[in-house]
A and B are shown apart, each in its own frame.
Chain A
Amino acid sequence: MSNASPTAADRLLDRHRLRTFTDRFTRAIIIGGGVAIILAILGMCAFLVKEVLPLFQSPDAVQTQPIALSPVSGATSSPVMVGLDEHQELAYVVRGESLEFISISNKSLPQPNSQQQALTAAGSVTAVARALGKDHRLALGTDSGQVIPVSIEFVQEFSGETRSITPSVTTGEPVVVDPARRPIRRLAYQTTESGTRIAAVSEDQHFWLVGSRRVSRPDGTADTSVAQTELTAHISGQITALTFDSRGDTLFVGTDEGTVRQFDLRDPAQPVPAGTSLAFEKGEAVTALAPLIGDRAIAVGSATGQVAVWMPVRESADSNVIRMKAVHRFSPHAGAVTGITISQRDKGFITADAAGEIRLHHSTSEQTLLQLHPQQGPIRNVYFAPKADGIVGVTDTDRVIHYQIQNPHPEITWRTLFFPVWYEGYSEPDLVWQSSSGSDDFEPKLSLTPLIFGTLKGTVFALLLAVPFALLAAIYTAMFMHPSLRAKLKPTIEIMAALPTVVLGFLAGLWFAPVLERNFPAIAAMAIVLPLTIVVSALLFLVLPNSVRRRIRPGAEALLMVPVIIGVIWGCIEANSWWESILFDTPYKAWLEAHLGLRYDQRNALVVGAAMGFAIIPIIYSISEEALSNVPKNLIAGSLALGATRWQTLAHLVLISASPGIFSALMIGLGRAVGETMIVLMATGNTPIMDWSAFNGFRTLSANIAVEIPEAPHGGTLYRTLFLAGLLLFLVTFVINTGAELIRQRLRAKYSQF
């Protein structure tokens, strides 16, 4: 060492430093990388939760600064109507004859940020109404019995990136509604493709209906016929609320006696009274009415602040009598309900009351999503923005209030996901999964319960088939089979476990399903004949003379059974029609339908059970075989030495000590069946029905994801609901597998003591 030159020592030192550095560096990389990978793997669950959470977040409302309206003479007594464009930039307020535009976002109008104009000179305006729909079509009722249609349009203009919105107002020809020229007090208005409908209450409770119908002639010209009817005689009590539905086919009239009267206007010239219903028990005055989107249900508000949704319901499942019924009730307001406006997007609506509160409700999920207190006095009129993302209102103090609303998933609650929900058009609450349909005003019905049911059904059928086979095979392999055979068998079973499930699904759907349909009687017979044959052949073997028996080495029973089983299966299938006549009646499908009330679908639960059972047999087999064959040999030897037969040893010792392992095998098999996708997708009809019948299909959570997610818009309610289904699958399988793994580890520790 003393001879070594300093440079050599330096080099050695350098080398040492480099090695130490490399060691530390790789250490850091592996620890960092390892932790990152494990976190990433475990982060999956967190990500799924993150995608699902918005479903259950309560909506958000942000109030913008209230804006004072310009003073108008006699404003407190004149009728008020407020509206908003779809980008929530411009609001309009009608007060009597005056129309005022107010810039909400302070963008679209130059200073001053409001514009006022007079709408009519035909007289003073005593009532205002707005037609349902996305357009802003209003009607003004005057003190001379006339109604003036007004249409407001918002024109978008782009200069580069900036958008400006210009309102344009069209005032139509006045229509004389009350021939006696009495002032109009209440008004309902609706425009449809074929014409307009006006319902008006004039001074002294005279009730008028005017319907115009445009009939196109073949030569291209159109003819408008106007029909005027007085309906005063049909109404008892004071009329306190009026509305049409969006097609103009029905007129709803609310009175101070608490009744809602309906008129059928399919022929506007001849309105037909279509029933009266009592909206509130105590006979409270109906102060607000609005049909929800789709025109089936109607939201009703009362003078004491009660809010309910009514819809036509069959009296019982098999009756043809349809009655209006209060299906959803909401927590009451503190004051009289002054206005209801519906969402153009979903079954939501907002209500405003005289105490100055605004609430956002969702009809189907029966929840009040928001309670807003603008603190600006009683609210005279509210409007729900066309995209259901904003609310404007006018208060008694002549202020415009505005809220921005974030409410992406109003229809989802734990209750709608898992419990029966009363949908429109149903005679009772029900569990339905139906995510899409052809029509526009369709309401998605997203109940996960039918899918969970389907998952359970598939799992049960799969386990019914797989467990007996897998356990019997495992017991035989572990206890009775010759070791040399066993060594060959295990890889075979492992390969079976690796068979792609898409292959099993394909064979189940395209090969097994038709075979089963054709030979169902024979296959049903096998369930009886096969066990019998096994018993008989075992007995036959036992009565054989010992000289023959000794030549067959123990552990070869399985091989001996192969030809017997093949023979039985072949025989049963050949005798299919005989079995059909013995077990059922020809044809068996008619018999099933007549005697058990079961319809036979080709792709049914039996087919799925067989295919999925096939898929989980190897898993259950491998794990339980491992548990059985790991039972300490000295225990078995002890039992045999004490004179127990191999069967007694198995039943009283091995099975009992291996039972936790077998249990965990079943759990893992169950976990696999719960999440299996391709087999279910291919071997059932994927109909989300809830029925335990073995002869019809079902839809599982996993198959549902595969079917629906390609069409689900990113971030939408369906998308998130499917993520929830994925999260459920994740959690269920993770819990099941963890439980099974812990049991196995405990068992291993126990065995290692021997």
Chain B
Amino acid sequence: MRAWLKQFWATGDLFVWGCGAGLSLSLLMIGGLLFLILINGFGYFWPSDLIELTLKDGKHVIGQLAGEEVSPKGVPRIRVKVGNRDLYGLDYRWINTDQIVERSRPANLIILERREWGNFYGRVSALHKGDEVVTEGAASIQQALPPLLRQAAVPDSADAYSLLVADANGKEKSIPLEQVLRLLTPNDLSVLGKAWVYIGNVWAVLTTEPREANTEGGIFPAIFGTVMMVLIMTVIVMPFGVIGALYLREYARQGVIVRLVRIAVNNLAGVPSIVFGVFGLGFFVYGVGGTIDALWFSDRLPNPTFGTGGILWASLTLALLTVPVVIVSTEEGLAAVPREYREGSIGLGATKWETIWQVVLPAALPGILTGLILAMARAAGEVAPLMLTGVVKLAPALPIDGAWPFLHLDRKFMHLGFHIYDVGFQSPNVEAAKPMVYVTTLVLILVVVALNLAGIVLRNRVRKKYAGSAV
């Protein structure tokens, strides 16, 4: 036994297992996190069935099942999204399972997507034009509705259309058609039909404007703002990063100073992003922006034009944040170009610049691109510096439009990451906003992961390509 124990300690198999468990736990955590986001994000678009519950007290509840659990007191209960915020105040409701007498899925239940107050769940009885009834019954209303919804709404006119709907307990309500976005009967839809609705929902979220304090509708301005900001940043960071790297690798005399500078630049990537935000606010917004205002926009003062946060300052701040990434990666790319290339070029009579421009840079291009893509990925996910330099919860206009000068660098913008923070933590009805946050998170993660994957794949290729030839 003692010998066995001694051998057991010597082999250390226990510790190996411990290490293995550490790794698997880490992987499980990543997996679980991604799974959580994917399920919640992708689940948001699915038009799940409406259920009608009959309770012990005779009341009815219509809604979508949103979760099941055992309450802290040990009673099993379900969570139902009941919608109808205008009638009930809350979107979600807990119902103890022992209160439920019957669950059913009648085909005539509807989801009415509205501009205000969130979704309406219930039944539809009639479509009115002014006071007269146009048509009755869910099926025929659904037929008649799409062309009407496409027409420009005429609010408050006497012959405006309206829908007569009723909630689970038969309480009637008339909803003007200009409030209505869409009418769905999920219980009536086949899986294919639901898939079609699903695709439509995804499209709608990606392309439409937010509604109801960002908690519903789409996230198009946030996507647009993120992409725009990253693009402007890329345009700025690329020349600077490449020139910096060219200087450090090709022109500067290698020595202690360059080594120290390299370490310093490298370490700048580890400086907290909020510090860049503080710098951006003080230097770009108040310093440079304030000066621009004083020189060229003094007629608009004291309302600032450039002396307040805007997409240009945010992009510049992020460019500063990511320039070390580009420099390091470009330097790596330059260093990987084999010496023979340069020697061959110089030997054939090319000047140094010709060698760099025609031989070295093309060979180092994948390295530069890797750096750029990683920089874009980092920039797309940063939020803290943006909060100080120009991101807003709801931008009145996109940074690009048809009015001269088309690209408005002074405008504030929306951003996916900030959208998550704002909707998830600053909105009055966090419960109702959560699904939207998951969707935004999903989109942001997809963007960042895609950019990163591209960067990593590119980098691995570069490394392989030059692995043999470097001397």
Residues of A near any B CB (own CB < 8 A): 19-20, 22-23, 26-27, 29-31, 33-35, 37-38, 40-42, 44, 47-48, 51, 468-473, 475-477, 479-481, 489, 491-492, 494-496, 498-507, 509-511, 518, 530-531, 534-535, 537-539, 541-542, 557-562, 565-566, 577, 587, 614, 617, 621, 645-648, 650-651, 668, 671-672, 674-678, 681-682, 702, 705-706, 709-710, 714, 722-723, 726-727, 729-730, 733-734, 736-738, 741-742, 745
Question: Given the interface contacts A42-B264, A733-B272, does A20 sit within 8 Å of B351 by beta carbon?
Answer: yes
Question: Given the interface contacts A476-B23, A706-B387, does A500 sit within 8 Å of B445 by beta carbon?
Answer: yes
A520 to chain B, nearest CB (A): 12
Asked whether B283 is an interface residue with its Cβ less than 8 Å from the other chain, the reply is yes
Partner of A495, one of B36, B387, B444, B453: B453
**B265, A38: Cβ atoms closer than 8 Å:** yes
Closest A residue by C-beta to B74 = A577
Asked whether B400 is an interface residue with its Cβ less than 8 Å from the other chain, the reply is no
**B244, A38: Cβ atoms closer than 8 Å:** yes
Partner of B320, one of A26, A41, A560: A41
Interface centre among B29, B72, B279, by most chain A C-beta atoms within 10 angstroms, is: B279
**Top 3 nearest A-B pairs by Cβ distance?**
A675-B272, A34-B247, A647-B12
Q: Please give, as numbers and ranges, the residues of chain A lying within 8 Å of B12 by CB-CB distance.
A: 645-648, 650-651
**B424, A645: Cβ atoms closer than 8 Å:** no
**A726, B421: Cβ atoms closer than 8 Å:** no
B180 to chain A, nearest CB (A): 30
Task: Give complex CA distance A527, B468 in Å.
Answer: 48
Interface centre among B22, B266, B452, by most chain A C-beta atoms within 10 angstroms, is: B22
**A30, B247: Cβ atoms closer than 8 Å:** yes
Can you add 4 more A-B contacts, CB < 8 Å, to A557-B20, A742-B263? Answer: A27-B352, A30-B246, A542-B13, A558-B21
A274 to chain B, nearest CB (A): 47
Q: Please give, as numbers and ranges, the residues of chain B lying within 8 Å of A470 by CB-CB distance.
A: 26
Closest A residue by C-beta to B324 = A41
**A37, B448: Cβ atoms closer than 8 Å:** no
Q: Please give, as numbers and ranges, the residues of chain B lying within 8 Å of A38 by CB-CB distance.
A: 244, 247-248, 261, 265
Q: Please give, as numbers and ranges, the residues of chain A lying within 8 Å of B25 by CB-CB distance.
A: 469, 530, 565
Closest B residue by C-beta to A478 = B19
Task: Give complex CA distance A726, B272 in Å.
Answer: 9
A-B contact pairs, 23 of them (CB 8 A): A20-B351, A23-B352, A23-B354, A33-B240, A34-B248, A40-B320, A47-B283, A48-B282, A480-B16, A492-B30, A501-B383, A502-B418, A503-B381, A534-B18, A557-B17, A561-B24, A577-B74, A645-B12, A647-B12, A675-B273, A678-B417, A726-B274, A741-B267
Chain B 315-349 residues near chain A, CB threshold 8 A: 320, 323-324
Contact with A along B2-33 (1 / 0, CB 8 A): 00000010111111111111111111111001
B287 to chain A, nearest CB (A): 8
Closest A residue by C-beta to B29 = A614
**A617, B26: Cβ atoms closer than 8 Å:** yes
Q: Is the interface of B mostly helix, strand, loop or mixed?
A: helix
Q: Please give, as numbers and ranges, the residues of chain B lying within 8 Å of A33 by CB-CB distance.
A: 240, 243-244, 247
Task: Give complex CA distance A149, B28 in Å.
Answer: 81
Q: Please give, as numbers and ranges, the residues of chain B lying within 8 Å of A498 by CB-CB distance.
A: 374, 377-378, 381, 448-449, 452
Task: Give complex CA distance A386, B418 in Å.
Answer: 43
**B286, A714: Cβ atoms closer than 8 Å:** yes
Task: Give complex CA distance A511, B420 in Å.
Answer: 13
Partner of B23, one of A27, A477, A531, A741: A477
Asked whether B353 is an interface residue with its Cβ less than 8 Å from the other chain, the reply is yes
Closest B residue by C-beta to A709 = B388
**A729, B281: Cβ atoms closer than 8 Å:** no
Task: Give complex CA distance A30, B330 in Å.
Answer: 14
Asked whether B228 is an interface residue with its Cβ less than 8 Å from the other chain, the reply is no
Q: How many A-B Cβ pairs are below 8 Å? A: 310
Asked whether B188 is an interface residue with its Cβ less than 8 Å from the other chain, the reply is no
Q: Please give, as numbers and ranges, the residues of chain B lying within 8 Å of A648 by CB-CB distance.
A: 10, 12
Residues of B near any A CB (own CB < 8 A): 8, 10-30, 33, 36-37, 72, 74, 240, 243-244, 246-248, 250-252, 261, 263-268, 270-279, 281-283, 286, 320, 323-324, 351-354, 356-357, 374, 377-378, 380-384, 387-388, 417-418, 420-421, 424-425, 430, 434, 437, 441, 444-445, 448-449, 452-453, 456
Partner of B351, one of A22, A481, A509, A682: A22
Interface centre among A501, A677, A702, A742, by most chain B C-beta atoms within 10 angstroms, is: A677
Partner of B353, one of A26, A494, A726: A26
Q: Please give, as numbers and ranges, the residues of chain A lying within 8 Å of B248 by CB-CB distance.
A: 34, 38
Partner of B11, one of A558, A645, A705: A645
Partner of A562, one of B16, B24, B251, B324: B24
Task: Give complex CA distance A531, B418 in Å.
Answer: 39
B424 to chain A, nearest CB (A): 5
**A678, B383: Cβ atoms closer than 8 Å:** yes
Question: Given the interface contacts A44-B279, A480-B16, does A733 sit within 8 Å of B271 by beta carbon?
Answer: yes
Task: Give complex CA distance A158, B264 in Å.
Answer: 55
Task: Give complex CA distance A510, B36 in Å.
Answer: 12
B4 to chain A, nearest CB (A): 9
Q: Please give, as numbers and ranges, the residues of chain A lying within 8 Å of B273 by CB-CB distance.
A: 675, 677
Q: Please give, as numbers and ranges, the residues of chain A lying within 8 Å of B382 by CB-CB distance.
A: 500
Task: Give complex CA distance A541, B14 in Å.
Answer: 10
Question: Given the interface contacts A476-B22, A510-B434, A566-B28, does A646 sit within 8 Å of B16 by beta carbon?
Answer: yes
A545 to chain B, nearest CB (A): 15
**B20, A561: Cβ atoms closer than 8 Å:** yes
Task: Give complex CA distance A470, B22 in Å.
Answer: 7
Task: Give complex CA distance A668, B270 in Å.
Answer: 8
**A48, B278: Cβ atoms closer than 8 Å:** yes
Task: Give complex CA distance A333, B3 in Å.
Answer: 85
Question: Given the interface contacts A473-B19, A539-B14, does A27 sit within 8 Å of B424 by beta carbon?
Answer: no
Q: Please give, as numbers and ranges, the residues of chain B lying within 8 Å of A650 by CB-CB distance.
A: 12
Q: Please give, as numbers and ranges, the residues of chain B lying within 8 Å of A41 by CB-CB distance.
A: 264-265, 268, 320, 323-324
**B247, A672: Cβ atoms closer than 8 Å:** no
Closest B residue by C-beta to A543 = B4
Q: Please give, as numbers and ranges, the residues of chain A lying within 8 Å of B434 by CB-CB distance.
A: 510
Q: Please give, as numbers and ranges, the residues of chain B lying within 8 Å of A562 by CB-CB distance.
A: 24, 27-28
Task: Give complex CA distance A524, B384 in Å.
Answer: 32
Partner of A709, one of B14, B278, B417: B278
B364 to chain A, nearest CB (A): 14
Q: Please give, as numbers and ranges, the residues of chain B lying within 8 Å of A37 by CB-CB distance.
A: 240, 243-244, 247, 323
**B17, A737: Cβ atoms closer than 8 Å:** no
Question: Given the interface contacts A20-B351, A473-B22, A500-B382, does A506 sit within 8 Å of B437 by beta carbon?
Answer: yes
Q: Please give, as numbers and ranges, the residues of chain A lying within 8 Å of B278 by CB-CB distance.
A: 48, 705, 709, 722-723, 726
Partner of A561, one of B17, B30, B380: B17
Task: Give complex CA distance A733, B324 in Å.
Answer: 15
**A558, B323: Cβ atoms closer than 8 Å:** no
Question: Given the interface contacts A34-B243, A648-B12, does A538 sit within 8 Å of B267 by beta carbon?
Answer: no
**B10, A509: Cβ atoms closer than 8 Å:** no
Q: Please give, as numbers and ranges, the residues of chain B lying within 8 Å of A741 by CB-CB distance.
A: 263, 266-267
A543 to chain B, nearest CB (A): 10
Task: Give complex CA distance A479, B12 in Å.
Answer: 13
**A30, B243: Cβ atoms closer than 8 Å:** yes
A305 to chain B, nearest CB (A): 43
